[in-house]
C-alpha cells in the first residue's frame, strides 16, 4: 500500500521541486544569473514528460477523431486581432491599492457605496483598528471614532467627495476626493491611483528602434506627464505587436481558411498547442502560474442552440482524459462558474480542477464562448466568418439554407499545469521496507502513466562483464530503432539502478543476466510492484510496446 507523504501534503511540493531539479525535469531559468521571476526550463526528462502529455492530448483531440483538425499559428499576430478579441482593452485591469490596509484589488469589482452612505471601516481586530486609526490621523489629520474593530466618521457626500463627520456633527469637518468605490475588505476610500496592468507582452515589429521616433516626437517640448504618455503611446502603437495571451484567437482568425481548405461540416473543431504569454500580476506555485506558459486549446464550432449539449459533452470528455492518466481520481472535479464569474464572452463555463497541495486549482476551463469571437473578428476585419448550412432551416425565412455564426465550445487546457499536476499525482513514497542489508528504506517512486513516462524502458546488464553489457546494448539498439525511448545503464549495482529508474518513473526494466547468455531470455521488472518475469529477448520489444498500448 502506498501512503500519503508524511502527515499531509504540505511538503509534497518541496519534494517534487527538489526531485525535478535533481533528476533533470525542471530547472530555474537562467539560474547562473540568479534566475528570472517565474521562468522555468524543462530539462532532459521534463521535456519528455511534457511532450508525452501534449502528444497524448493531440492524439485524443485530433488523431483519434474525424471532426477536429490541427493548427500551429504564429505567436505574433496582427495587433488588430487583439483589438477585436477585446484583449487590448479588456485585458488591462485597473488595479488599486488601499493606502491604509495595503490590500490590492480590481477597481471594477470594488464595492460602490451610494451617496449619503456612512463608510465604517471594518478592521480584522481591535489592534489593527487602533493602528489604522493612528495611521489615518497622521496622514489625513482626522480622528475617527473607534468602536471595537470598527472605525466611524466617514460618509459619502456626493459622487466625488467623502467627508469626515465628527460625532453628532451634520457638517463635514474635512472633505476628501472620492473615487466612487472603497477597498473591499476594509471599506476605505483612501486609495492609490488606478493603475492599468496590461497583461499582454508588448514588443515592436520592425528593425527600427521606436525609441528614436519617440525622442524626435518629444524633442524640445515641455509637456506634462499625461501628455508625454499620450505621445509615447501613440508612437508605440505604430509598431506595436503583442505576444499572444492565448492560442485561441488564431483558430478564429483562420476559421474561414480552414473551413475552406478542409471542407469541414459543422460540428467541427480546430486544435492548437503552444506557448502563450501573460504579464501576471503575481506568479505563484512553481510552474503553476507563470508569465510564459503552454496551452492546449480547441475551439469546437456548433450550430447556435446546440452549445449546451456540446458543453456537456466536452466537459465530461476532458475530465475523462485527465483521469485516464491519473493515479488519484478523487483529486479531480468539475466546477461550474457562477454567473458573475463568467468572462464577457461566455454564457457558461466549467473548470476542471485538481486538488493541488495548496488547494483546488484550475487545470482547464471548458467555456461556452457563444459566437462572440467570430462575430467580433468579422466586424473588425470585414470578412464574413459565417458558416453556410444548406440543410438547416433559416429561422427568419423558414426556407432551407442558413448562414450563421457558429457557437463555440472551448476546452482550454494548461499544458504546463498538467505537467506539474501529473508529477504531483505520480510522486509517492512506498511504505518502508527492509533493504538487502535489513535497513528500513522508503522507495521514492514516480508512478507516471507508462505513456507519460520519460523513459519507457531501461536496459541493464546485471553486472559489467561476461558479455552482458554487449548483449544489453544490442537490445537497447532495437528499442532505439523502433522509436521507443529507452535508456542503457550499467553504472552502480543493479538495485541502485532500479531505484534510480523508479524515481524518474521508468515503468519497465529489462535485465540481462547469466541466464540470458544461455537461453536468450531477460527479466522484465515492473516499476509499481517491483516484480519480475522472464521473457524472450526476441519478444521484449513487442511486450513493452503492447504494454504501452494497453496501459
Q: Which residues within the stretch 479-518 sit at the binding site for RNA (CB under 7 A)?
A: 491-496, 498-500, 502-503, 511, 513-514
In the complex with RNA, which residue's Cβ is closer, 52 or 511? 511
103 binds RNA (CB under 7 A): yes
CA 250 to chain centre: 18
Which of the stretches 132-140, 167-175, 284-292, 368-376 binds RNA when contact is defined by CB under 7 A?
284-292
Order of strands across the sheet with 161-164? 154-158, 161-164, 174-177
Instruction: Determine which helix (DSSP H) or strand (DSSP E) holds 335, and give its type and residue range.
Output: strand 332-336
CB of 478 to RNA, least distance (A): 18
In the complex with RNA, which residue's Cβ is closer, 28 or 166? 28
CB of 33 to RNA, least distance (A): 8
Q: Which of 43, 94, 120, 184 binds RNA (CB under 7 A)?
A: 184
Question: Which segments within 338-386 are labelled E, that is strand?
Answer: 348-356, 359-370
Instruction: Note whether 516 and 468 are within 8 A (CB).
Output: yes
285 binds RNA (CB under 7 A): yes
| Interface positions, 211-230, toward RNA (CB under 7 A) | none
CA–CA distance, 200 with 85 (Å, rounded to integer): 13
| Interface positions, 396-425, toward RNA (CB under 7 A) | 412-414, 416-417
Q: Give the burial class of 228: count Cβ atoms within 10 A of its Cβ; 0-12 exposed, 13-18 middle, 19 or more buried.
A: middle
CB of 457 to RNA, least distance (A): 14
Order of strands across the sheet with 2-3? 2-3, 427-430, 444-446
Residue 410 in grid coordinates: 472551448
CB of 116 to RNA, least distance (A): 27
523 binds RNA (CB under 7 A): yes
Q: Is the dihedral of CA 393, 394, 397, 399 positive or negative?
A: negative
290 binds RNA (CB under 7 A): yes
Q: Which of 64, 74, 207, 282 binds RNA (CB under 7 A)?
A: 282
| Interface positions, 24-53, toward RNA (CB under 7 A) | 28, 34-39
Neighbours of 409 (CB within 10 A): 28
Neighbours of 154 (CB within 10 A): 29
289 binds RNA (CB under 7 A): yes
Neighbours of 430 (CB within 10 A): 17
In the complex with RNA, which residue's Cβ is closer, 171 or 338? 338
452 binds RNA (CB under 7 A): no
143 binds RNA (CB under 7 A): no
123 binds RNA (CB under 7 A): no
- The DSSP call for residue 194 is P
| Interface positions, 242-281, toward RNA (CB under 7 A) | 246, 278, 280-281
CB of 257 to RNA, least distance (A): 24
3 binds RNA (CB under 7 A): no
Nearest to residue 415, comparing CAs of 541, 323, 297, 262?
297
87 binds RNA (CB under 7 A): no
For residue 147, the cross-strand partners are: 150
Q: Which of 86, 122, 532, 537 binds RNA (CB under 7 A)?
A: 532
Q: Which of 175, 435, 474, 538 binds RNA (CB under 7 A)?
A: 435
370 binds RNA (CB under 7 A): no
CB of 184 to RNA, least distance (A): 7
Instruction: Please spell the DSSP secondary structure of 277-331, one letter per residue.
Output: E---SS-BTTTTB-SEEEEEEEEEEE-TT-HHHHHHHHHHHHHHHHHHT-S-GGG
CA–CA distance, 549 with 59 (Å, rounded to integer): 13
CA–CA distance, 147 with 132 (Å, rounded to integer): 13
Nearest to residue 364, comparing CAs of 311, 319, 407?
319
Which of the stretches 148-156, 217-225, 315-323, 461-469 binds RNA when contact is defined by CB under 7 A?
461-469
Instruction: Note whether 332 and 319 are within 8 A (CB).
Output: yes
CB of 161 to RNA, least distance (A): 26
Q: Which of 252, 286, 300, 372 binds RNA (CB under 7 A)?
A: 286
CB of 242 to RNA, least distance (A): 15
Q: Which of 72, 227, 341, 394 binds RNA (CB under 7 A)?
A: 341
Amino acid at each position: 500500500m502506498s501512503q500519503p507523504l508524511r502527515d499531509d501534503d504540505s511538503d509534497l511540493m518541496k519534494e517534487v521541486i527538489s526531485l525535478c531539479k535533481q533528476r533533470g525535469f525542471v530547472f530555474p531559468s537562467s539560474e547562473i544569473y540568479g534566475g528570472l521571476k517565474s521562468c522555468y526550463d524543462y530539462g532532459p526528462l521534463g521535456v519528455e514528460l511534457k511532450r508525452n502529455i501534449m502528444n497524448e492530448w493531440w492524439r485524443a483531440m485530433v488523431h483519434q477523431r474525424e471532426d477536429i483538425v490541427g493548427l500551429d499559428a504564429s505567436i505574433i499576430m496582427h495587433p488588430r486581432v487583439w483589438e477585436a478579441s477585446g484583449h487590448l482593452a479588456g485585458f488591462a485591469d485597473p488595479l488599486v491599492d488601499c493606502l491604509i490596509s495595503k490590500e490590492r484589488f480590481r477597481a471594477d469589482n470594488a464595492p460602490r457605496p451610494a451617496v449619503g452612505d456612512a463608510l465604517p471601516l471594518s478592521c480584522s481586530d481591535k489592534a489593527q483598528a487602533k493602528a489604522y486609526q493612528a495611521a489615518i490621523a497622521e496622514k489625513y489629520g482626522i480622528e475617527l471614532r473607534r468602536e471595537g474593530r470598527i472605525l466611524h466618521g466617514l460618509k459619502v457626500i456626493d459622487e466625488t467627495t467623502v467627508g469626515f463627520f465628527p460625532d453628532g456633527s451634520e457638517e463635514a469637518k474635512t472633505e476628501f476626493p472620492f473615487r466612487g468605490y472603497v477597498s473591499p475588505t476594509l471599506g476605505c476610500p483612501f486609495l492609490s491611483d488606478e493603475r492599468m496592468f496590461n497583461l499582454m507582452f508588448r514588443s515592436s515589429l520592425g528593425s527600427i528602434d521606436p525609441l528614436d521616433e519617440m525622442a524626435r516626437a518629444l524633442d524640445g517640448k515641455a509637456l506634462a506627464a499625461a501628455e508625454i504618455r499620450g505621445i509615447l503611446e501613440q508612437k508605440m502603437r505604430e509598431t506595436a505587436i503583442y505576444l499572444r495571451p492565448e492560442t485561441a484567437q488564431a483558430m478564429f482568425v483562420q476559421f474561414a481558411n480552414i473551413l475552406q481548405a478542409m471542407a469541414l461540416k459543422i460540428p467541427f473543431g480546430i486544435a492548437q498547442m503552444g506557448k502563450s504569454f501573460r504579464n501576471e500580476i503575481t506568479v505563484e506555485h512553481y510552474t503553476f502560474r507563470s508569465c510564459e506558459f503552454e496551452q492546449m486549446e480547441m475551439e469546437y464550432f456548433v450550430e447556435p442552440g446546440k452549445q449546451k449539449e456540446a458543453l456537456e459533452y466536452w466537459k465530461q470528455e476532458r475530465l475523462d482524459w485527465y483521469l485516464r492518466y491519473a493515479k488519484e481520481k478523487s483529486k479531480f472535479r468539475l466546477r461550474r462558474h457562477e454567473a458573475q464569474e463568467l468572462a464577457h464572452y461566455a454564457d457558461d463555463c466549467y473548470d476542471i480542477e485538481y486538488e493541488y497541495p495548496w488547494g483546488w486549482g484550475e487545470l482547464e476551463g471548458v467555456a461556452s464562448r457563444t459566437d462572440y469571437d467570430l462575430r467580433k473578428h468579422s466586424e473588425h476585419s470585414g470578412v464574413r466568418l459565417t458558416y453556410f448550412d444548406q440543410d438547416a432551416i433559416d429561422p427568419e425565412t423558414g426556407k432551407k439554407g442558413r448562414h450563421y455564426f457558429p457557437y463555440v465550445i472551448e476546452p482550454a487546457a494548461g499544458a504546463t499545469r498538467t505537467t506539474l499536476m501529473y508529477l504531483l499525482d505520480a510522486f509517492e513514497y512506498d511504505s518502508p521496507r527492509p533493504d538487502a542489508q535489513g535497513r528500513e528504506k522508503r522507495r521514492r517512486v514516480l508512478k507516471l502513466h507508462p505513456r507519460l513516462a520519460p523513459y519507457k524502458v531501461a536496459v541493464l546488464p546485471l553486472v559489467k562483464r561476461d558479455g552482458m553489457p554487449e548483449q544489453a546494448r544490442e537490445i537497447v539498439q532495437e528499442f532505439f530503432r523502433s522509436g521507443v525511448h529507452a535508456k542503457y545503464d550499467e553504472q552502480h549495482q543493479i538495485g541502485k539502478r532500479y531505484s534510480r529508474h523508479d524515481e524518474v518513473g521508468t515503468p519497465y526494466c529489462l535485465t540481462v543476466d547469466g541466464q540470458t547468455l544461455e537461453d536468450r531470455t531477460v527479466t522484465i521488472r515492473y516499476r509499481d510492484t517491483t516484480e519480475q518475469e522472464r521473457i524472450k529477448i526476441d519478444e521484449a520489444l513487442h511486450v513493452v510496446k503492447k504494454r504501452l498500448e494497453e496501459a
